[in-house]
Amino acid sequence: MHVHSIPCSGKRFRRWVQYGILLIACCCPRTSLWAQKAAIIRANTAEYIFTHQEISWLEDASGKMSFETARQRDAAGEFRINGRYYPQNTHTASAYWFKVSVTVSDTLPHHERLIEFYDQTIDDLTLYVPDARGKYTAAHAGAGRPFAARLFKHKNFEFLLPGMPRGTYDFYVRVQSLNEINFIMVYRSVERFINYALAEYITFGLFYGMILVFCFYNLLMLLATGLSHYLWYVLYIVSVGVYEMSTDGIAFQFIWPAAPQLNVYMYGICLYCMSLFALIFARTLLRMKRQSPPLYRIINWIIVIRTLYFLICLAFKKEWFIYKFLDFIPLGAVFIAGIIIWQKGFKPARFFVLAYALLFAGAVGKLINVLGLVSGNLAVAAHYSLVFGFVLEMVLLSFSIGDQIRLLRKEKKQAQDDAMFHMQHHLQLQASVNQQLEEQVAARTRQLELQAREIYEQAQEIARMNRLLQNDNAALKTNIEKITDARISSAELTFEEFSQKYPDQEQCYRFLADLKWSNGYQCKKCNYNNYSKGRKPFSRRCNKCAYEESPLQDTIFENNRIPINKAFYIVYLVFTTKGNISSYQIAEKTGMRQGTCWAYAVRIRQLMEQTKRHKKSTWADLIRKE
């Protein structure tokens, strides 16, 4: 048993030794296992990109660390080795120090090599360049400085290198930016830089030229068709162009070179406009309100939320502009909405979905390049993948608009054909109906002619009867007036019945005028017989001496203070009752005060006593004092 147990124990021992060595290796300091590598530069090296362990970094949370302090902390081993493809400023409020070691195997000539930094959103960048004696020279650049202060009038940041003999050199770089940046440091020969810059600017010219062509084309289509989605599409691609120019540094170079403060805001503003116009364009192009009302409401809410977030960033939190990934939410919503509407049978959505699929593919390629997952030609292709995605998206969105125009034309032609068919059918029906109507009109005309003759005969008879009725009505009216006057003279009437004869002041004045001048007019001043109308109702003015006489003058109603029709009624009541009616009864019938009725009744009774001698037998005879 002991013979067999020894080998077993030996295997276990060796296994535990291996585990112990691995554990010790894992517990060792990182610098011992991951030491910073020095990049080797030769005289024929045209380009070298520093990545991975060739870069070490240190975060300066205060942002006030001096260059000497940074070197001391580097000597103390506080710089960390980069574990990514490109390091980033994880905390944008801090300053970051980067160190790159370069081994020059052949002497480099003076000012024929340069260091270039790709990320154009770096606000402040300082490169400390060593010389052969170990002394450092600081060179400054960044998007926070005017463009004219740059060494080369180029969108990137370049620094010329002095002559360097063989040896190893440590370059230090201080970076501070409100944006999240990728620290991409490249060594290049001046010749390589010129060729690369020319090729890149030609590429940019083609890209932005395509944007201008698309803008002009769609503006012409907008003027020709008047469709609103052309306007939103133009605004969208303009926003894409200005956003790309802002992130590439082209806009800073050519549009606002003297206003570096705009670099902090413009890409965020353009990104917002791009999302906003993309949502409105998709909402209009895909006819969401008609095709899918729930999607239409969701897109509207996304527009409202994105706008509120943009206003907060613009007014209070400009550092929040760095969260570009949030714009994947509205673009993703548009993409999903396009798929849903495509599935519902709206054909123009297929180009729309393909366009955004290619745009997302370009964004993924750009992300892969930023994370450093590819290198070489693939890295170059991935770097420009988003630009290619935008170009393909613009082309396919134009196809989508054209497809919708084709669909609209088809619908319009179908509507016209339907309208033409219905119009022809309507004309046929109208002709048939007209023929039937003509026959019916002819028959009806004959019938109406017969009826017209009958009606004419009836009209003649009716006219004869009307003449008889008019004569009867005139006689009846005269009889009614005589009966009413007789009844007034013979019986006591209510105020309502009395008011039918004398309803208002005008009738009372007319009655008084007719009574007063029943024997003709004669002026009381000059005895002249011609008169004209006076200023007051039914008064008469002498044409000779202009004396004006009222119908109330020399009557019982002269200087009257109560309504004339009620005064008439009181005279009538007192006369018909021969003065035996009380003032209370008069007040109850007329609705006036008892005292007023009493005074008026006394006056009338006195007048009745006076008229007994003249044997006046009607109540109207009391009215005149004479």
Most confident of 95-99, 141-145, 381-385, 460-464: 95-99
**Residue 540's beta-bridge partner residues?**
533, 549
| Cβ-Cβ contacts under 8 Å for 131 (sequence gap 6 or more) | 137, 162, 164
Q: Is 243 left (phi over 0), alpha (psi -120 to 50) or beta?
A: alpha
Based on DSSP, count helices (H) and strands (E) in the chain, helices before strands: 18, 14
The average pLDDT across 490-506 equals 70
Dihedral sign, Cα of residue 249, residue 250, residue 252, residue 253: positive
- The torsion defined by the Cα of 77, 79, 84 and 89, in degrees rounded to 10, comes to 160
> 130 pLDDT exceeds 50?
yes
**Residue 130's beta-bridge partner residues?**
136
pLDDT band at 5 (very low <50, low <70, confident <90, very high): very low
Q: What is the pLDDT of residue 23?
A: 43
- pLDDT tens sequence across 172-203: 999 998 888 889 999 999 999 999 889 888 98
The average pLDDT across 387-414 equals 72
- pLDDT tens sequence across 313-346: 888 888 787 777 787 788 888 888 888 888 888 7
- Separation of alpha carbons 591 and 588, rounded Å: 5
State how far Cα 395 lies from the chain centre: 29
pLDDT band at 20 (very low <50, low <70, confident <90, very high): very low
DSSP string, 201-248: HHHHHHHHHHHHHHHHHHHHHHHHH--HHHHHHHHHHHHHHHHHHHHH
Instruction: Give the residue carrying structure tokens 């008069």.
Output: 586
The average pLDDT across 51-68 equals 92
435 is written with which tokens?
Answer: 């023929």
623 is written with which tokens?
Answer: 């009215």
- Separation of alpha carbons 126 and 139, rounded Å: 6
Q: What is the pLDDT of residue 115?
A: 94
Question: Which of 216-220, 298-302, 323-327 is predicted least confidently?
Answer: 323-327
Cβ-contact 583, 598 below 8 angstroms: yes
Say which DSSP state 261 is in: G
Q: What is the pLDDT of residue 173?
A: 96
The average pLDDT across 250-260 equals 88
Full set of structural domains in the chain with CATH? 30-193 (2.60.40.2380), 197-410 (1.20.1070), 496-516+550-622 (no CATH)
Residue 291: count of CB within 10 angstroms of its CB: 16
- pLDDT tens sequence across 226-254: 888 788 888 988 888 898 888 888 888 88
Dihedral sign, Cα of residue 299, residue 304, residue 310, residue 313: negative
**Parallel, antiparallel, or unpaired: how do β-strands 157-160 and 531-533 relate?**
unpaired
- Of residues 76 and 412, which shows the higher confidence score? 76
> 400 pLDDT exceeds 60?
yes
| Cβ-Cβ contacts under 8 Å for 215 (sequence gap 6 or more) | 234, 237, 238
Residue 503: count of CB within 10 angstroms of its CB: 11
- Separation of alpha carbons 358 and 336, rounded Å: 14
Query: CA nearest 230: which of 412, 409, 405, 356?
Result: 405
Cβ-contact 592, 570 below 8 angstroms: no
Q: What is the pLDDT of residue 55?
A: 94
- Separation of alpha carbons 12 and 121, rounded Å: 58
> 74 pLDDT exceeds 60?
yes
Burial class (CB in 10 A: 0-12, 13-18, 19+), 498: buried
Q: What is the pTM of this model?
A: 0.55
Q: What is the pLDDT of residue 625?
A: 55
- Separation of alpha carbons 125 and 145, rounded Å: 10
> 594 pLDDT exceeds 70?
yes
Phi/psi at 94 (5° precision): -95, 160
Most confident of 40-44, 372-376, 443-447: 40-44
Rounded to whole angstroms, what are the CA distances from 617 to 49, 514, 557, 561? 139, 19, 19, 27
Cβ-contact 564, 576 below 8 angstroms: no
> 435 pLDDT exceeds 80?
yes
Query: CA nearest 117: which of 165, 151, 78?
Result: 151
